[in-house]
Amino acid sequence: MVHTDGEGEVVKAALGVPFKVLYPAYQTAPSSQVQTRPYDLRDEHGGLHQAYVIVWQQNGIDGYYDFEGTNWLNPPLFAHAHERVLHGRKYLLVYDGSHIHVLGWREGKVLYWVTNTLLEDLSNDQMWVVAKTAQSLH
């Protein structure tokens, strides 16, 4: 496992999350981790779900990308996602033109995903590498 400066913070922030926390071993070279926190969200029926987010700043002008996990398996974000199976795992892709804006997958009863910056600063290849290097911290 590749250790990064933010792992300890991730573990502390995720203590209240009742599922496995993943953390990507790869972050883009110019980025720095700026936020890590657990949060709750409600689905359209009022059901409560837990989640966490880790945010990196890619550049100085709205260049933030994030990695998230939740026990809400079907949030609206993925309602119209394209599916792609790679190495036995089904990925959910949300595109902005030819750019991958969100790349997600389910592991058991948890949904994980990477969200690109507002201006799609991460290439499609970088999005795949962030997703594929996500490893458990527990």
pLDDT recorded at residue 5: 57
Q: Summarize pLDDT for 8-65 with one digit per residue, the tens.
A: 666 666 667 999 999 998 988 778 888 888 999 999 999 999 999 999 998 777 789 9
Is 37 inside any structural domain?
Answer: yes
Position 17 in a domain: yes
| pTM attached to this predicted model | 0.90
3-state secondary structure of 101: strand
For residue 1, is it within any domain? no
Whether 88 maps to a domain, the answer reads yes
CATH code: domain of residue 44 = 3.30.200.100
Per-residue confidence band for 137, with pLDDT thresholds at 50, 70 and 90: confident
In a domain, 79, yes or no: yes
**Domains of the chain: total:** 1
Q: What is the pLDDT of residue 71?
A: 97
- Structural domain contains residue 2: no
pLDDT confidence of residue 14: 63
| Domain span including residue 56 | 7-136
pLDDT of residue 60: 72
Residue 64, Cβ neighbours under 10 Å: how many? 17
Q: How confident is the model at residue 2 (pLDDT cuts 50, 70, 90)?
A: very low
Summarised one tens digit per residue, pLDDT across range 66-111 is 999 999 999 999 999 999 999 889 999 999 999 999 999 999 999 9
What is the model's pLDDT at position 12? 63
119 part of a folded domain: yes
